[in-house]
């Protein structure tokens, strides 16, 4: 979950305590928020980044603490695309005027703004596409230096890679637009760039919005077709979310409403999946795994509400407790 607590992308003491407390709470894998691979790829000026070598020092401190609690450390590499340049939620969350933002033109597949009031993105040319691929690869190399165990490429929620996948935001007529093969070209190239520096021994995840929830948009069937090709590219797991590429989507939100996507991709694309979305109870999460709907359950808002959810889940499900020795008296 984005924390909007950085300046020029640098992690802070807030991130150390925020992420570290989830490891203390018993999570097996602790992910950073969406972490920008270049300055223009930030959702807000206060997003976490990994586009400077200097970012690695504090990130290394965080991964060291996470490892010290017996957990793995993951980082989500992201580029906000046409959704870049907004204020933090507590500052209103609205797009910041370009002259105030001072970043230069934001990027996208086509000159189509996300919504009224957002900047019109500048379509990436071949040099811009090459720059983005290098930025993801450089970020993955820094993630390795900083001690992360898992990299996830963020291709969901209306950010740059999802924008290329969806016909709603991609109106290109070159090799990166039109057919599904072309619209998926950039995400495949980014995966290749990342895998060129990310060791085979370490997992690589990709997060997809499995559907846009809008007629004429990116579909479950298309996502399954793309997912079928990912194992050969070195992807180990697809993290199955949905939506957020258009403000007009009508999403039937409810408990476990996205779990069926993880189940379908797991069964039809033959790749491991992670389930997300209003998964809140230990029994609910356990059932998803035990019935083979997904290989991992990933929690976000519920872990914001309760950093010690894994310990409570272990107790409720009568599983072995993995609390730090300092907290054993509490259990």
Q: Give the per-residue pLDDT at 199.
A: 98
Q: What pTM, to 2 d.p., does this model score?
A: 0.97
The secondary structure element, H or E, covering residue 136 is helix 126-145
What is the pLDDT at residue 330?
79
Q: Assign residue 99 a region: left if phi > 0, alpha if psi is -120 to 50, beta otherwise? A: alpha
In a 3-state reduction of DSSP, which class is residue 122?
A: strand
Please identify every residue annotated as catalytic: 159
Q: In the prediction, which pLDDT does 321 show?
A: 79
pLDDT for res 25: 95
Angle at which helix 126-145 crosses helix 56-68, to 10 degrees, equals 50
Which pLDDT belongs to residue 323?
A: 80
In whole angstroms, what is the distance from residue 58 CA to residue 25 CA? Answer: 21
Give the pLDDT confidence score for residue 328 in this predicted structure: 79
Which 3 state secondary structure label does DSSP give 316?
Answer: helix
**Are 81 and 108 contacting, i.e. CB atoms less than 8 angstroms apart?**
yes
Residue 61 parent element (H or E): helix 56-68
Nearest-angstrom CA–CA distance, 323 and 80: 36
What does each of the 331 residues of the chain score in pLDDT, given as a tens digit? 999 999 999 999 999 999 999 999 999 999 999 999 999 999 999 999 999 999 999 999 999 999 999 999 999 999 999 999 999 999 999 999 999 999 999 999 999 999 999 999 999 999 999 999 999 999 999 999 999 999 999 999 999 999 999 999 999 999 999 999 999 999 999 999 999 999 999 999 999 999 999 999 999 999 999 999 999 999 999 999 999 999 999 999 999 999 999 999 999 999 999 999 999 999 999 999 999 999 999 999 999 999 999 999 999 999 987 788 898 787 7
pLDDT at 140: 99
């Amino acid at each position: 979950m984005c924390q909007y607590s950085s300046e020029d992308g640098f992690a802070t003491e807030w991130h150390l305590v925020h992420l570290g407390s989830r490891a203390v709470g018993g999570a097996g894998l602790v992910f950073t928020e969406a972490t920008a691979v270049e300055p223009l790829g930030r959702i807000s000026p206060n997003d976490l980044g990994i586009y400077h070598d200097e970012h690695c020092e504090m990130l290394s401190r965080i991964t060291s603490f996470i490892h010290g609690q017996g957990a793995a450390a993951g980082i989500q590499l992201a580029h906000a695309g046409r959704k870049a340049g907004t204020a933090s939620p507590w500052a209103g969350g609205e797009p910041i005027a370009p002259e105030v933002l001072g970043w230069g033109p934001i990027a996208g597949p086509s000159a189509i703004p996300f919504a009224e009031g957002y900047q019109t993105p500048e379509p990436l040319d071949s040099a811009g596409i090459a720059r983005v691929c290098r930025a993801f690869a450089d970020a993955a190399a820094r993630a390795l230096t900083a001690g992360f165990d898992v990299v996830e490429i963020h291709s969901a929620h209306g950010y740059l890679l999802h924008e290329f996948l969806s016909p709603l935001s991609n109106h290109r007529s070159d090799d990166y637009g039109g057919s599904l093969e072309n619209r998926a070209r950039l995400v495949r190239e980014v995966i290749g760039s990342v895998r060129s520096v990310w060791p085979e021994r370490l997992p690589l995840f990709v997060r997809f919005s499995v559907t846009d929830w809008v007629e004429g948009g990116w579909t479950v069937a298309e996502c399954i077709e793309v997912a079928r090709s990912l194992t050969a590219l070195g992807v180990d797991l697809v993290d199955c979310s949905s939506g957020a590429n258009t403000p007009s989507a009508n999403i039937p939100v409810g408990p476990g409403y996205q779990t069926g996507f993880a189940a379908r991709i797991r069964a039809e694309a033959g790749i491991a999946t992670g389930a997300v979305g209003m998964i809140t109870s230990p029994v609910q999460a356990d059932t998803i795994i035990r019935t083979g709907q997904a290989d991992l359950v990933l929690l976000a808002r519920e872990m914001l509400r309760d950093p010690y959810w894994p310990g409570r889940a272990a107790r409720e499900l009568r599983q072995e407790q993995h609390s730090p020795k300092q907290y054993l008296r509490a259990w």
